[in-house]
Structure 1
Amino acid sequence: MVFEKVCNILSEQFGVDAGSLNMDTAFIEDLGADSLDVVELMMSIEEEFDVGEISEEEAASMKTIGDLVRRIGDDD
């Protein structure tokens, strides 16, 4: 459920097919995200999942969809 929602957000933000994403998809290398994209993504995730603020340091440490899904899962 969390993975699917994250993929849908990424699909909208990056214009990619949600079905082409997996837990190992990297934001920068695979999706071409820059620092502004990552900030926007974190804001979308914070709003969608009500996980509180994700710090810049924490966001920078998340490289893949799996990293992000695990972070969201920590607050469930």
Structure 2
Amino acid sequence: MVFDKIKRIIEEQLGMQQDKITMNTSFEELGVDSLGFFQIVIEIEEQFGVQIEDAEAITTVSEAVRFVEEKTKGM
């Protein structure tokens, strides 16, 4: 499932427990700085084989999940 994979990526990048990460959690709430966010975006791109052109538009975990699901639909 996309959400579980993204949760794992965030957990690995930030070194935090997955139970603090929900679909409605924003990256700001997680205390992600611009470098951390960039690393998360790169990892999502690599794990799912997608290209995130407008990363600034993704502010919550649910937006990241929705983006990946739309880009990988039919793959």
TM-score (norm 2): 0.89
Structure 2 match to 1:8: 8
Structure 2 match to 1:49: 48
* RMSD (CA atoms): 0.9
- 1:9-66 deviations in whole A, cap 9, x for unaligned? 10111111112211111101x1111111111111000000001x212xx211111000
Structure 2 match to 1:38: 37
Moved over 2 A (4+): none
Unaligned runs of 5+ in 2: none
Q: Percent identity?
A: 36
TM-score (norm 1): 0.88
Tell me how many residue pairs correspond in the alignment: 72
